[in-house]
Structure 1
């Protein structure tokens, strides 16, 4: 009986040792990286990369979610696509998607932006493409503002230039992280919202832009951003201009608000060259 108990005890101890060893081995084994990854850069903070650490980029002209880098552009900015779901647990999987381009190829997206490489990034960790042409930016998960570069088309369906005259041509302007246009209100003053009513009855038409300040495109700096209290809402400002959405912008890339008001530009879009709001 004693021999039997000893044998059982030895068997149980061996099983525990084997299980512990297996667990340790499993815990220490590196997880194979697949899909989009998050990497921390000393200058840019959290950035998106491929599984090998190569940096990914957003193109401002793609604000509507359509890939506009084609032909010769692709030589410099090759598209990124992975059919694999990301293995990075710090990445919001709901923000990852894909599109089918006009030529039938697939391209991965993040927050609706098609993703690209930059040909001059020779090695993992290099970020040489940010700011190129003022319209290419390193892909990040936490932009508070993003830049668009596209045609202005008012609620009246007319096309406008950056001077708010009728005409064609891309205009650069800020959006939120998901490509939704943000506007200023021409009568506003520096840090003073003159549009929103105390009962918020008109906030459904031009909602104040509420966002936590995180990352910004490298063409602007955080000292240009502020927050004001508007009847209990925290409204972001840029160069003193309170920021708003327009409720008729039904999809990303829409900028219909530019034709609303006394004249085109009564609700202007904003960009890096916008002048500081006037003093109250």
Structure 2
């Protein structure tokens, strides 16, 4: 049966509705993308935070600075391992910074910037961050740390091991690294926000200045203790902590190494930086 619609406003409207309904019927419904792997969420306190695909917060462990997972056995009950076969569907995640390691117990674990990732058992819902700061060595995993925290043995270029007071001996020290676990140092003769060491590029090859940007810091550090100075002798900018210009040691070849602690007039002449570091003198 043919339906005739008069060329009236009502008739035109009816034709339009029939056309829209026909188009909707032909157009397939869009399926929402399923999130997989690491995601970046925005937290009201911490800003950008790494989570799993359903929004559960992920964490870094300071003792894992060398890239090896040290939370094993009973530790895993509190800090379960995070693993996903998928790197990330989040376009804001740099896939080149996501990897997978095989732990000593044979389990696989996802890493970000070389840090194995964990959950915290007392995060009972997505978005909770109850594990941050636990023991001063567990921190929410973030993509934008300017500094990170290591909990590791100090071992000098001379092969000797040192305590946090630079006496010979064993025992972990909590100190600062860059975002990928490379140890940072101060030069003990430096002055407050003044680099007195780097007089030319040759010296920068031995003790390179840390050119990190003033971004996020772990919660045991307050951001007002961080600054950026100009090193005019080499045309670079350098991050400082409590006024101490920060350096790398050129012979620290891999993450977690801290060989520079034995270099100079005595152990600690080039000290690592800690929460207890005193303010640099004027």
TM-score of the superposition, structure 2-length normalised? 0.90
- How far apart are 1:201 and its partner, in Å? 1.9
Q: How does 1:210-249 map onto structure 2 within 5 Å?
A: 210-231=211-232, 232-249=235-252
Equivalence for 1:194: 196
* Matched ranges for 1:95-110 at <5 A: 95-110=97-112
Is it true that 1:148 corresponds to 2:150 in the alignment? yes
The alignment's C-alpha RMSD in Å is 1.5
Kindly report structure 1 stretches of 4+ aligned residues shifted beyond 6 Å. none
Q: What is the aligned partner in structure 2 of residue 183 from structure 1?
A: 185
TM-aligned CA distance change 1:275 to 1:20, over 3 Å = farther
Give the Cα separation in 2 of the matches to 1:54 and 1:258: 38
Partner residue in 1 for 2:271? 268
Matched residue SS, 2:34: coil
Q: Determine the C-alpha separation between the residues in 1 that align with 2:165 and 2:25.
A: 71
User: What SS does structure 2 have at the residue aligned with 1:227?
Assistant: strand
2:83 match = 81
Match of 1:136 in 2: 138
- Separation in structure 1 between the aligned mates of residue 47 and residue 67 of structure 2, nearest angstrom: 24
Contact 2:87 2:99 in 1 (8 A): no
Q: Extract unaligned runs of 5+ from structure 2.
A: 1-18
Render the CA deviation track for 1:2-22: whole Å, top value 9, x for unaligned: xxxxxxxxxxx99x9479834
Aligned to 1:119: 121
- For 2:32 and 2:62, the matched residues in 1 are separated by 36
Q: Separation in 2 of the partners of 1:89 and 1:150?
A: 33
CA distance in 1, matches of 2:215, 2:194: 22
TM-score by length of 1: 0.90
Task: Identify the residue that residue 3 of structure 1 maps to in structure 2.
Answer: none
Q: Distance in 2 between matches of 1:256 and 1:113?
A: 21
Could you tell me which residue of structure 1 aligns to residue 259 of structure 2? 256
Note the alpha carbon deviations across 1:82-104, whole angstroms, 9 max, x for none: 11131111111111001100011
Structure 1 unmatched runs, 5+ = 1-12
Please say which of residues 105-114 and 80-89 is displaced more in the overlay: 80-89
